[in-house]
Amino acid sequence: MEGTSTGTDRTLSTADLAAQITELVGHLNAANRRWLALIAEFDRRKGWVDSVTQSCAHWLNWQCGINLGAAREKVRVAHALEKLPLIGAAMARGELSYAKVRALTRVASEATETTFLSIALHGTAHHVETIVRQYRRATEAVELSREAQQQAGRSISYHWDDDGSLVLKARLPSEAGTLLLRALEAADADLPLPDVAGLHPSLPVSAETRDATPRTARRADALGVLAESFLKHGAEALAGGERQQIVVHVDYAALRHRASGRCELDEGPAIPVETARRLGCDSSIVTIVDKDDGEPLDVGRRTRSIPPALRRALNARDRGCRFPGCTHTRYVDGHHIHHWADGGETRLANLVSLCRFHHRQVHEGGLTVERLDDGAWRFVKSSGEAIVSSAHRANCNGTELIAAHHAQGMTIDSRTAATRWRGERMDYVYAMDVLVQRASTARRDVSAET
Across the chain, mean pLDDT equals 76
Q: What is the pLDDT of residues 159-204, one digit of tens each?
A: 888 888 888 888 887 667 777 887 888 777 666 544 444 444 444 4
- Residue 384 has a pLDDT of 80
Strand partners, 369: 379
What pLDDT, on the 0 to 100 scale, is given for residue 237? 42
CA distance 49 to 59: 9
Query: Distance between CA 331 and CA 269 in Å, rounded?
Result: 25
Averaged pLDDT for residues 17-35: 89
pLDDT tier at 393, thresholds 50, 70, 90: very low
Angle at 164 between CA 161 and CA 166, to 5 degrees: 60
Look at residues 220, 226, 157 and name the one whose alpha carbon lies nearest to residue 187: 226
DSSP states along 203-242 = S---HHHHHS-HHHHHHHHHHHHHHHHHHHHSGGGTT---
Are 164 and 271 a contacting pair, CB within 8 Å?
A: yes
Q: Cα separation of 388 and 396, whole Å?
A: 23
CA 160 – CA 78 distance, rounded (Å)? 39
Task: Tell me the average pLDDT across 336-354.
Answer: 85
Q: What pLDDT score does 113 carry?
A: 94
| Selected residue with higher pLDDT from 302 and 39 | 39
Domain segments of the chain as ranges: 14-141+394-449, 146-237, 248-387
The C-alpha atoms of residue 270 and residue 275 are separated, in whole angstroms, by 10
Three-state DSSP class for 175?
Answer: helix
Least confident residue range of 174-183, 195-204, 223-232, 435-444: 195-204
pLDDT digits (tens, 9 = 90+) for 307-339: 888 888 888 888 888 887 777 787 788 888 888
Name the most confidently modeled range: 143-152, 175-184, 250-259, 336-345: 336-345
Categorize the per-residue pLDDT at 284 as very low, low, confident or very high, splitting at 50, 70 and 90: confident
Measured between alpha carbons, how far is 420 from 119 in angstroms, rounded to an integer? 10
Amino acid 260: pLDDT: 63
Contact present, 75 and 405 (Cβ < 8 Å): no
**pLDDT at res. 234:** 64
User: Which pLDDT score, from 0 to 100, does residue 78 have?
Assistant: 96
